[in-house]
């Protein structure tokens, strides 16, 4: 790491090398502006928690305090509350996973699980294979442990097995060690696509053949719109998969409760790492979730979320069709995100300040790549704004995109812009979209 003490931080040259992976994103300052109420933000991934039964949650909190207050306010087990771990098995069973309660470790959100797994497996210079594009804050974690990230191509059916094989061969030929394959196979963040069943089998087979551990991150699998997705990868492979789940999207992120389901031996290490990091996950929020799940119709509530997000997804797709018909985008069957491919030469990152000025925000595609790709992509989230705001947001976006196009056409020496075919490692639009 370069050491240049400066006036703002007298400890600048004291940081560990791994801290260099923790650079603030260039768009962070803009996002502070984008959180103003007059801006339609299609940028964040905040669940619409107002759709929760607030009274039932309040009742659960009150009952926890009344019936087991001292225990709920105490330190707990480093593995998590046994009653909640039993209930987590019920959640995972909905995605085809059969597991032992002993192999579940509760964490402070699945983000924390990502950190623990990375801490356990990654030495500086080890390679993590990840979808291109990948969940941005997983990339931040991998980088903070000085991993190298190699992006594997995706299309509308998720990770491309041939690309996975090619990357494994190339990384090995370069003499590097691959430790993990990180994937969000269902309603991925940011691409909104789902790995088909056949590809799940193929990817697991490739990972098994090559001795690569699969890190399956599945926050969105139960939030489907048009029919259930394929079962989790962990449902067919126990020893080769570490599975991450969370209550953040099906209940609320404010509880900060997620979990890891790991092979037996890995689980032991995870508990120790969890204890080293937080002693125990929050007894209080685990107790509240456990209480809520034992009295509320939590499956029905997930159904309510599906209805809310389906309506918003539809609003976004209709608005894109109406206002930006010549762009390409993915059509998610669940989750929170649509991945848009811009016409050739338009740069989502440099366009963002103009978008924020027009009172709409999105996340530039570059955030989701470790290698600078993604300039012609943007992630649009439909989870938080109402359908009306989503439509207005896309309308504002269309004025920005069209204005930018005109500008480029005016100053370009070349022919007027046309829609470019998706470049390497971009998501191909589904065939049913023009």
Ligand X SMILES: Cc1ncc(COP(=O)(O)O)c(C=O)c1O
Asked if residue 110 binds ligand X (CB under 6 A), the reply is yes
Beta bridge partners of 217: 244
Q: Residue 22 and residue 292: Cα distance in Å, rounded?
A: 36
SS3 call for 369? coil
Q: How far is the CB of 256 from ligand X (least distance, A)?
A: 7
Which of 71/120 has CB closer to ligand X? 120
Q: Which of 248, 286, 301, 330 binds ligand X (CB under 6 A)?
A: 248
Q: Residue 28 and residue 5: Cα distance in Å, rounded?
A: 23
Q: How far is the CB of 135 from ligand X (least distance, A)?
A: 4
In which residue are the tokens 């204005």 written? 403
CB-count burial class (<10 Å; 0-12, 13-18, 19+) for 14: exposed
Q: How far is the CB of 431 from ligand X (least distance, A)?
A: 26
Q: Residue 9 and residue 6: Cα distance in Å, rounded?
A: 6
SS3 call for 290? helix
From 13-21, 104-112, 279-287, 322-330, span contacting ligand X (CB under 6 A): 104-112
Q: Residue 430 and residue 121: Cα distance in Å, rounded?
A: 36
**Per-residue x/- track, 49-78, ligand X (CB under 6 A):** ------------------------------
In which residue are the tokens 């996002």 written? 31
Q: Residue 255 and residue 240: Cα distance in Å, rounded?
A: 29
Q: Which of 78, 158, 221, 258 binds ligand X (CB under 6 A)?
A: 258
Q: How far is the CB of 108 from ligand X (least distance, A)?
A: 8
Which of 219/365 has CB closer to ligand X? 219
Q: Residue 51 and residue 55: Cα distance in Å, rounded?
A: 11
Q: Which of 103, 148, 153, 217 binds ligand X (CB under 6 A)?
A: 217
Name the nearest CA neighbour of 433 among 351, 328, 335. 328
Phi/psi of residue 11, nearest 5 degrees = -100, 10
Name the nearest CA neighbour of 146 among 23, 24, 276, 19. 19
How crowded is the C-beta side of 10, counted as CA atoms within 13 Å?
0
Q: Residue 330 and residue 185: Cα distance in Å, rounded?
A: 15
Q: How far is the CB of 100 from ligand X (least distance, A)?
A: 22
Contact 190/425 with Cβ under 8 angstroms?
no
Asked if residue 45 binds ligand X (CB under 6 A), the reply is yes
By beta carbon distance, the residue nearest ligand X is 109
Which of 60/250 has CB closer to ligand X? 250
Asked if residue 144 binds ligand X (CB under 6 A), the reply is no
**# residues near ligand X by CB under 6 A:** 13
Which of 125/254 has CB closer to ligand X? 254
Q: Residue 266 and residue 341: Cα distance in Å, rounded?
A: 39
Alpha-carbon Rg for the chain in angstroms: 22
Asked if residue 135 binds ligand X (CB under 6 A), the reply is yes
Asked if residue 184 binds ligand X (CB under 6 A), the reply is yes
Asked if residue 41 binds ligand X (CB under 6 A), the reply is no
From 105-113, 194-202, 265-273, 391-399, span contacting ligand X (CB under 6 A): 105-113
Tokens of 146: 């000085």
Q: How far is the CB of 368 from ligand X (least distance, A)?
A: 11
Q: How far is the CB of 275 from ligand X (least distance, A)?
A: 19
Asked if residue 219 binds ligand X (CB under 6 A), the reply is yes
Helix axes 82-93, 283-295, angle to 10 degrees: 50
Asked if residue 385 binds ligand X (CB under 6 A), the reply is no
Q: Which of 235, 246, 363, 398 binds ligand X (CB under 6 A)?
A: 246
Q: Which of 60, 111, 186, 285 binds ligand X (CB under 6 A)?
A: 111
Which of 109/332 has CB closer to ligand X? 109
Asked if residue 229 binds ligand X (CB under 6 A), the reply is no
Q: Residue 150 and residue 270: Cα distance in Å, rounded?
A: 25
Tokens of 242: 């570490």
From 72-80, 208-216, 246-254, 348-356, span contacting ligand X (CB under 6 A): 246-254
Which of 312/405 has CB closer to ligand X? 312
* CA 165 centroid distance within chain: 24
Q: Which of 253, 334, 365, 374 binds ligand X (CB under 6 A)?
A: 253
Q: Which of 76, 78, 109, 393 binds ligand X (CB under 6 A)?
A: 109
In which residue are the tokens 């801006």 written? 39
Asked if residue 189 binds ligand X (CB under 6 A), the reply is yes
From 106-114, 232-240, 269-277, 402-410, span contacting ligand X (CB under 6 A): 106-114
Which residues are at the interface with ligand X (CB under 6 A)?
A: 45, 109-111, 135, 184, 189, 217, 219, 246, 248, 253, 258
């Amino acid at each position: 790491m370069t050491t240049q003490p400066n006036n703002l931080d007298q400890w600048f040259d004291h940081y560990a090398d791994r801290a260099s992976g923790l650079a603030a994103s260039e768009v962070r300052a803009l996002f502070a502006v984008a959180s103003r109420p007059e801006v339609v933000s299609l940028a964040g991934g905040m669940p619409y928690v107002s759709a929760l039964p607030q009274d039932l949650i309040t009742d659960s909190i009150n009952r926890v305090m009344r019936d087991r207050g001292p225990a709920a306010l105490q330190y707990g087990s480093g593995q998590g509350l046994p009653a909640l771990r039993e209930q987590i098995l019920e959640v995972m069973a909905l995605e085809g996973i059969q597991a032992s309660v002993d192999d579940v470790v509760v964490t402070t959100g699945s983000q924390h699980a990502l950190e623990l797994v990375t801490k356990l497996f990654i030495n500086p210079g080890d390679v993590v294979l990840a979808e291109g594009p990948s969940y941005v804050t997983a990339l931040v974690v991998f980088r903070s442990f000085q991993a190298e990230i190699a992006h594997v191509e995706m299309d509308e059916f998720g990770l491309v097995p041939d690309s996975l094989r090619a990357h494994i061969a190339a990384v090995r030929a370069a003499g590097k060690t691959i430790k993990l394959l990180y994937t969000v196979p269902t309603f991925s963040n940011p691409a909104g696509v789902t790995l088909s069943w056949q590809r799940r089998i193929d990817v697991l087979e490739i990972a098994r053949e090559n001795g690569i551990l699969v890190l399956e991150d599945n926050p969105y699998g139960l939030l489907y719109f048009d029919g259930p997705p394929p079962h989790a990868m962990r449902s067919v492979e126990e020893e080769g998969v570490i599975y991450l789940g969370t209550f953040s999207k099906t209940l609320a992120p404010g509880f900060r409760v997620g979990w890891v389901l790991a092979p037996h031996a890995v689980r032991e290490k995870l508990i120790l790492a969890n204890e080293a990091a937080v002693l125990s996950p929050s007894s209080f929020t685990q107790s509240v979730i456990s209480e809520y799940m034992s009295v509320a119709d939590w499956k029905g509530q997930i159904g309510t979320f599906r209805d809310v997000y389906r309506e918003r997804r539809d609003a976004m797709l209709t608005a894109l069709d109406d206002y930006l018909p010549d762009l390409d985008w993915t059509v998610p069957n669940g989750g929170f995100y649509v991945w848009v491919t811009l016409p050739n030469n338009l740069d989502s990152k440099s366009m963002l300040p103009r978008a924020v000025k027009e009172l709409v925000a999105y996340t530039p595609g570059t955030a989701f790549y470790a290698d600078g790709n993604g300039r012609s992509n943007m992630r649009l989230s439909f989870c938080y704004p109402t359908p009306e705001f989503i439509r207005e947001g896309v309308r504002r976006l269309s004025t920005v995109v069209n204005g930018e196009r005109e500008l480029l056409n005016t100053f370009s020496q070349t022919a007027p812009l046309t829609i470019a075919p998706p470049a390497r490692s971009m998501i191909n639009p589904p065939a049913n979209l023009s």
